[in-house]
Structure 1
Amino acid sequence: MKIRKIRARQIKDCRGKPTIQIFVNGASGSAPSGTSKSKFEVLDYGFSLAKTVSYINSKLAKNLIGMEIETFEDLKKLNSVYLDLLGGNPRIALEFAILNALAKDQEKELWELLNPSATEMPRILANVAGGGAHAPKSNFDIQELLLSPRQDSFREDFQTARKLYRAIGKYSTKAKTIEHAWIFNKSAHEVLDIISKLLPPEVELGCDFAASNIWAHGSYHWHELGELDKRQHFKYISQLAYEFELFYLEDPFNQTDFEGFAKLLKENPFSLVCGDDLIATNLKRLKQAVEERAINAVIVKPNQIGSLLAAKEVLDFARSHEIVPVLSHRSGETMDATIADIAFAWQVPFVKFGIDGKERLAKLYRLIEIEERLNKV
């Protein structure tokens, strides 16, 4: 496929904040952004969004028009135009648009273009209750409580998660986080107790603690418990993991504490101890985590590293070292569902796309659509 036309513009994400959308040969891609961010992420934008859009339309487009793209690996050709200077979001939006244009040009589904032999659907990590940076006025410090059904199809998993989401809402304040998770003005222990009692045996429970957000001046600051040192915080996380049989523990410690992650994994070898802020989809940091045996699962967010090729490299390295990859959305999402096709094509075991809100449902519905088409073949 030859790139014939490129156009960029500003749009609003689900929080009403501006982000970038890029069109390539009429196909689009848009970039999300996070609220809770790792300090190891690439910058969203190297310049202001307005300047970025202007630069793409006036200068970058001229350098890209005529470029031939035939495979996913051809995205490396973008390195020749110094896209990294623009930041992670413009490159991700451009790569999404290019891949969607290429799939359209070849008259294929995007996942089929990337991996025609893909067959396995991912499991859902559904964000049903939240606090922390996603609900700053709440006293609930855990950023996300996550449900993961284990049933016979992705559609059944989705339907079960949706049903439980609605049931859990009855116990909440009725307000929602920016990711449409229910807000509670209760302690972490109280909320976990409420939700765990609602779950049938085929649904597992996990937490994204995003603990860097409650870490300051060498200690953790909980609304319910006050200031905890590292040892006290570790004990509390371990207590929650044991009492509520948490199968998934994301970012339970500060984003530099490889030692804390390693200790928790050693105590909970059958749970997924997952690094997000700790790794930031960065291969160098993932390699350090492997050396220190700090995690057995890792979040992959393409715009954290600003390149789909780099994100895929992280995912492949994780797999080769028996670390479970989890492909994730961001809190500031758009209607772009490209990441759903990528999740299926890359055969990730888990997706963390939320469970409510049109921008998140777009991705989940796309996975249901993929499953339905597979079942018809």
Structure 2
Amino acid sequence: MNEDTIIESIHARKIFSSYGDPTIEVDVVTVGGFGRASAPSEIGTGKYKAIAFPNGDVDMAIREVEEVIAPELVGLDANEQQIIDKILRELDGTNNFSKIGISVAIATSIAVAKAAANSHGVPLFQHLGGTMACILPIPLGGIASESRYTKYLSIDIHEILIIPKNPSSFSEALEVILSIRKKIPDILRKYNLGFVNGHSDMAARITNLKIKDVLKIINEICVKANEEFDLDIGIGIDFDAANLWDSKLNKYIYQHEGFELTSEEQISFISSLIEDFNLFYIEDPLYEDDFEGFSKILKEFPNILVCGNNIYTANTERISKGVKFKSTNSLIINPNQIGTLTDTWNMISFAKNHNLKPIISNHLSETLDESISHISVAAGCPIIKIGTIGGEHMVKLCELLRIEEVLGERAKIFSLYEVN
């Protein structure tokens, strides 16, 4: 046992997310170090999502940390991450942290890891992944999206994204995405002078153009950027189809587009978008229980990334079902949906072992915590899906720039030519 990593105290406080909603931040003090971590105020969409805070009560969650969790963890070795996380699970006693709240669990777990790393004087990614952790993820950034405040006046799909497939460095990849993103507002305004094109919650530009019209514009921009930067830039769509699905009508409702689609028609529509615009990434193209429908898309387009988020919501049973049906070849890894750092690590390993590409992602209602940047490098996630504007998003991207600088000549970045 290393004396410097013995936990001396644990303290929790209420802070506020980028939505202005209350959430939790946890401080862990060891003999020789300090760690702080916070969790988003919301977990996600979809009927299978976990519970952030029991009854939505952040104050009760803070008391749980102070009165129940802290007494059990103080005096333990912060190096023993798996033991710490096992205790958190035992204290909760449920399979989804519905008693203490999944946000409490992940904030406490990561704060312990940060304190251990700080006690050793090493970055979190090195503490978790060792000295061989040196490959950075490629950023997947949103550039056009719907607005939850003007839902039926903006594009029906959740978000349109871009990703450089073959960058030479993380800094290059980020600069390319930001360069393209800055061109979007003026171009979108040319097609609709009366629409503001402000920022959405996803830190993308809101548009009220039709889906195919927006994709045509973005595709033309990417073709020019490919020549300018000598890169291959892919286009993706996060459909978030659960929010399009009407279970009573058994149809996908596209209010802004003005049409309704059956499940088979939805698959045909998606296929046409993939073919017409050479899409490289699609996320949640169907509602969360249509495992067979997902598998039809993947079977037809095996060389693109078909990603599951709401279909899985970090639930191992649902992921196993997806593996059985061959529903996707990638999945979203959102630590605050999973519960602890150990659980996150195990889920990433499970995904890799079943040929699923782990795509680590932040959340909409974010804080300034930068932990997922370190986790992505430590665990070898090939892609990080993140907003490209707003302090709560940029802090994570800038942390990856710092990690790249720390690694120096050892720094590498994934290639999506290698991923497939």
The normalised TM-score by structure 2 is 0.86
3-state SS of the aligned residue for 2:135? coil
Percent identity at matched positions?
Answer: 31
Aligned to 1:70: 79
Q: CA shift at 1:73, angstroms?
A: 2.5
Q: CA shift at 1:206, angstroms?
A: 0.5
Q: Find the aligned partners of 1:313 and 1:282 in 2 and give their Cα distance.
A: 12
Q: CA shift at 1:38, angstroms?
A: 2.4
1:153 matched to 2:175? no
Q: Find the aligned partners of 2:282 and 2:372 in 1 and give their Cα distance.
A: 23
3-state SS of the aligned residue for 1:86? coil
Aligned to 2:252: 220
Q: Verify the 8 A CA contact 1:13 1:332 in the aligned structure 2.
A: yes
Change (3 A) 1:24 1:67: same
The alignment yields a C-alpha RMSD, in angstroms, of 1.7
Q: Verify the 8 A CA contact 2:43 2:52 in the aligned structure 1.
A: no
Q: CA shift at 1:134, angstroms?
A: 7.7
Unaligned 5+ segments in structure 2 are 189-195, 227-231, 411-420
For residues 121-132 of structure 1, what are the structure 2 equivalents within 5 Å? 121-131=136-146
Q: CA shift at 1:39, angstroms?
A: 1.7
State the number of aligned residues. 377
1:5 matched to 2:13? no
Change (3 A) 1:240 1:326: same
- Residues 11-44 of structure 1, C-alpha deviation per residue, up to 9 Å, x if partnerless? 1111111111111114210001447512222211
- Residues 123-182 of structure 1, C-alpha deviation per residue, up to 9 Å, x if partnerless? 110111111648635420111111101311000000000000111122343311112210
Paired AA for residue 81 in structure 1:
L
3-state SS of the aligned residue for 2:312? coil
Aligned to 2:180: 164
Paired AA for residue 82 in structure 1:
D
Paired AA for residue 171 in structure 1:
I
3-state SS of the aligned residue for 1:198? helix
Aligned to 1:270: 303
For residues 21-170 of structure 1, what are the structure 2 equivalents within 5 Å? 21-25=25-29, 26-34=34-42, 36-47=44-55, 48-74=57-83, 75-82=85-92, 84=97, 85-116=99-130, 117-131=132-146, 133=148, 136=151, 138-149=153-164, 150-170=166-186
- Residues 296-353 of structure 1, C-alpha deviation per residue, up to 9 Å, x if partnerless? 1111111112222222222111111211110010011100001100010001000002
- Residues 104-137 of structure 1, C-alpha deviation per residue, up to 9 Å, x if partnerless? 1111110000112112111110111111648635
Query: Which stretch shows the higher mean deviation, 332-341 or 143-152?
Result: 143-152
The normalised TM-score by structure 1 is 0.96
Q: Find the aligned partners of 1:102 and 1:134 in 2 and give their Cα distance.
A: 42
For residues 182-261 of structure 1, what are the structure 2 equivalents within 5 Å? 182-199=205-222, 200-201=225-226, 202-216=232-246, 217=248, 218-222=250-254, 223-261=256-294
Paired AA for residue 28 in structure 1:
R
Q: Find the aligned partners of 1:108 and 1:134 in 2 and give their Cα distance.
A: 43
Aligned to 1:176: 199
Q: Find the aligned partners of 1:36 and 1:97 in 2 and give their Cα distance.
A: 22
For residues 281-300 of structure 1, what are the structure 2 equivalents within 5 Å? 281-300=314-333
Q: Find the aligned partners of 1:135 and 1:358 in 2 and give their Cα distance.
A: 23
Q: CA shift at 1:54, angstroms?
A: 2.3
Q: Verify the 8 A CA contact 1:139 1:224 in the aligned structure 2.
A: no
Query: Which stretch shows the higher mean deviation, 225-234 or 89-98?
Result: 225-234
Q: Find the aligned partners of 2:65 and 2:331 in 1 and give their Cα distance.
A: 33
